[in-house]
Amino acid sequence: MTTLIDMHDVTKTYRMGEVELPVLKGVSLAVNEGELVTLMGASGSGKSTLMNVLGCLDHPTSGEYYLDGREVSRFGARERARLRNRSIGFVFQSFNLLPRMTALENVGMPLTYSRERLTDREKRERAAEMLAKVGLGDRAGHQPSQLSGGEQQRVAIARALINHPRLLLADEPTGNLDSVRSQEILRMIEDLNRTEGITVVLVTHDPAVAGHTRRTVRMKDGLIEEAEKAA
Amino acid sequence: MRFAGILQTGTTALSRNVVRTLLTMLGIVIGVAAVITMMEIGKGATLAIQRTLTSIGANTLVVIPGAQNVGGINYGVGSQTTLTPNDAAAIVQRCQAVENAAPVVRARTQIVYGNRNWVPTYVYGSTASFLRVRDWTTMEEGESFTDHDVRNASKVCVVGRTIVRELFAGQSPIGKEIRVRSVAFKVIGVLSPKGANAMGLDQDDILLAPWTTIKYRIVASSLSTGNQSVTNTTNVTEVNSLSQLYPNITTSLYPTQSSNELADVPQPIRFANVDQILVNARSARDVPQAIEQITNTVRDTHHLRPGEANDFTVRDMTEITNAMSATTELITRLLLYVAMIALVVGGVGIMNIMLVSVTERTREIGLRMAVGAEPNDILEQFLTEAIVICLAGGLIGILVGRGASIVVTKVLHWPTASSLGAIVAAVAVSATVGVSFGFYPAWKGSRLDPIEALRYE
């Protein structure tokens, strides 16, 4: 088992004028490839900031962050953009699908920024394949407004997977869904983790959601309080 | 990201809000249409003004003989007798920038019809091309003389409006005979009125005849400095010597020859010199070129060695030409500036809408950045949208502008001239407006922080 995420004493401090606001106060975290980790914590505990750092949307103030053996904490904006495109998939609480674009176009959107030289046709085929994988092969031409919440989130998952990322970051993916749909989405994420071997970091408030995973990381006041292995 | 891809993303985004896109485009459409219409009206006006100014001689050149200098006495410009009708023929033949040339022999003398007499401002002898050079081909009555009349030294003439008024009291003079220094000229044509020239001289006060007739029948051995009437007609000053300020009438050393004696001793006839050659260049722009070609040609026909001074001068109507170019340039520029303002206003409209669009789509930008769009990709995307709006607006503007200038011609009867330059400029300008006014919003979008942008409500 190789270590995919390796964080050493990462801090993040926001400056608001004169005041410095430390949000992460020295987080160390290691996640092996293929793991499914739940990140829990009260609001304001720093989990969103940690997710941003994990997802290379933001760089830490200090500390080191190795993703797949490469120190990404020193990457510039362009390198991080490429890394996000190639190695990281995002699933958001509010789906963040682009309105007035079909499900197929939404799924294929990240390919536009891919370094791979794909023809339009290849792009469409790959997007269709991903949609089929999340069980929405027959909804390719629908716009987000014509889809239910659960379906929208599945489109978002297909979009996150289109570039075959190593890491999937899901920020409260079930926050806007009812319990039945939530179960569906969680099961899908678990399946992806198990069958495809994609490493997943899942942020949630819901202890029931956390129950699905073997490992739960709790955050409090910018520090990781405990990392437990569930049975 | 390939260009086709960017373009597609751009057009898709624009087609999402068709009404807004069209309204934004409207600014550019109006701007470009204004530029094109204004430029075409400006060009039409320029051509019309050029045509008008040509009629008063903006592209007319005058070749006059140089000054003769004998024994330290300068006889003034025009005293050389080296300019010939052959020079005029050579100029027409050899100079590409020249359209027509006409030799001119001048006289100043009294003309008589019935019990009336008159001294015209101009008594000109020339060829049939004179009227073409002066852009004066429309006749009020009758017709002009021909090259045949010039060869035969026919006693025919055409007269201007003023002479008709003074000698014929407004009646048609066609077929009547005018006596010009006891030579009877048949009037065969009346020139259309032209009015005063730039110096205030009445151009209609003219009698025009073949140069051979004037030269050989009227002026005889003219040295043509324009004061023939003083020496040859009955002179008042001889009667009343009190008005003589300076005793410049030299005492004659020899008895005056009678006409019989003169006829008995024929003078050797020198070649026929003319007083000036009127030339018109193909256009006012060709004038400098024409001057050069004429100089070379006449130097050649006069067999002047290199280094030898010209025995003639070529003059152009610099004043008129300058006035013309200044006027038309001013008009065209003025119109263009006004149209440019319209384009800038259109550009500001685009900037405004693009800023709104960037703000509206902050989350989209955040998402695109999260899935791997680099700042440059975002910049390209929004810049493309702005350019697509501008180019599409530019194309529609070209059509509207052309249409507008056609309508202007049809309805207002203003002259317009289609100009490819205007269309090219309009496309270039609209693309430039797109880039320059689209850049700031696009840049603003590309500098967004993905985290903030994703959280934006």
CATH number at residue A158: 3.40.50.300
Q: How far apart are CA B395 and CA B288, in angstroms?
A: 39
Identify the closest residue of chain B to A102 by CA–CA distance: B12
Q: How far apart are CA B396 and CA A92, in angstroms?
A: 42
Tell if the CB–CB gap between B367 and A112 is shorter than 8 Å. Answer: no
Highest-confidence range of A142-156, B6-20, B209-223, B274-288, by mean pLDDT? A142-156
Residues in chain B within 8 Å Cβ distance of A114:
372
- The H or E element spanning position A81 is helix A77-87
Confidence tier at A229 by pLDDT (50, 70, 90): low
Which of B364, B371, B451 comes nearest A110 by C-beta? B371
What are the tens digits of pLDDT across the range B264-273?
776 655 567 8
Which of B9, B371, B375 comes nearest A85 by C-beta? B371
Range in A106-110, B64-68, B379-383 the model is least confident about: B64-68
User: Which pLDDT value is given to residue B293?
Assistant: 92
Predicted TM-score (pTM) of this structure: 0.65
Tokens for B118, please give them.
Answer: 């008159």
Tell me what the mean pLDDT of segment B69-79 comes to.
77
Kindly report the nearest CA distance between residue B284 and chain A, in angstroms: 59
Tell me what the mean pLDDT of segment B8-31 comes to.
83
User: Which pLDDT value is given to residue B175?
Assistant: 92
Tell if the CB–CB gap between A85 and B9 is shorter than 8 Å. Answer: no
Q: How many residues does chain B have?
A: 457
ipTM > 0.85 for the complex: yes
Confidence tier at B235 by pLDDT (50, 70, 90): very low
Tell if the CB–CB gap between B372 and A78 is shorter than 8 Å. Answer: no
Q: Which residues of B touch A (CB under 8 A)?
A: 1, 5, 9, 12, 16, 363-364, 366-377, 450-451, 454
pLDDT score of B226 more than 70: no
Tell if the CB–CB gap between B450 and A57 is shorter than 8 Å. Answer: yes
CA angle B47, B50, B51 (to 5 degrees): 85
Which of A98, A110, A120 comes nearest B372 by C-beta? A110
User: Which pLDDT value is given to residue B55?
Assistant: 66
What are the tens digits of pLDDT across the range B414-439?
878 887 877 888 888 888 888 889 99
Residues in chain B within 8 Å Cβ distance of A57:
369-370, 450-451, 454
Size of interface A-B (CB pairs under 8 A): 58
Residues paired with residue A25 on neighbouring β-strands, in sequence order: A11
Tell me what the mean pLDDT of segment A173-178 comes to.
87
Kindly report the nearest CA distance between residue A96 and chain B, in angstroms: 7
pLDDT score of B86 more than 80: yes
Q: For all residues of chain B together, what is the average pLDDT?
A: 82
What are the tens digits of pLDDT across the range A49-97?
899 999 998 888 999 999 988 888 888 888 899 999 999 999 998 889 9
Confidence tier at B445 by pLDDT (50, 70, 90): very high
Residues in chain A within 8 Å Cβ distance of B360:
none
Identify the closest residue of chain A to B17 by CA–CA distance: A100
Confidence tier at A231 by pLDDT (50, 70, 90): very low
What are the tens digits of pLDDT across the range B104-115?
998 888 899 988
- The H or E element spanning position A121 is helix A120-133
pLDDT score of B35 more than 80: yes
User: Which pLDDT value is given to residue B237?
Assistant: 41
**Three-state DSSP string of chain B:** CCHHHHHHHHHHHHHCCHHHHHHHHHHHHHHHHHHHHHHHHHHHHHHHHHHHHHHCCCCEEEEEECCCEECCEECCCCCCCCCCHHHHHHHHHHCCCEEEEEEEEEECCCEEECCEEECCCEEEEECCHHHHHCCCCCEEEECCCCHHHHHHCCCEEEECHHHHHHHHCCCCCCCCEEEECCEEEEEEEEECCCCECCCCCECCCEEEEEHHHHHHHHHCCCCCCCCHHHHHCCCHHHHCHHHCCCCCCCCCCCCCCCHHHHHHCCCCCCCCCCCEEEEEECCHHHHHHHHHHHHHHHHHHCCCCCCCCCCEEEEECHHHHHHHHHHHHHHHHHHHHHHHHHHHHHHHHHHHHHHHHHHHCHHHHHHHHHCCCCHHHHHHHHHHHHHHHHHHHHHHHHHHHHHHHHHHHHHHCCCCCCCHHHHHHHHHHHHHHHHHHHHHHHHHHHCCCHHHHHHCC
Kindly report the nearest CA distance between residue B355 and chain A, in angstroms: 19
How many structural domains comprise chain A? 1
Residues in chain A within 8 Å Cβ distance of B12:
101
pLDDT score of B223 more than 50: no
Which of B1, B364, B372 comes nearest A82 by C-beta? B372
Q: How far apart are CA B205 and CA B118, in angstroms?
A: 10
Confidence tier at A228 by pLDDT (50, 70, 90): low
Higher pLDDT, residue B249 or B398: B398
User: Which range of residues forms the domain containing residue A140?
Assistant: 3-229
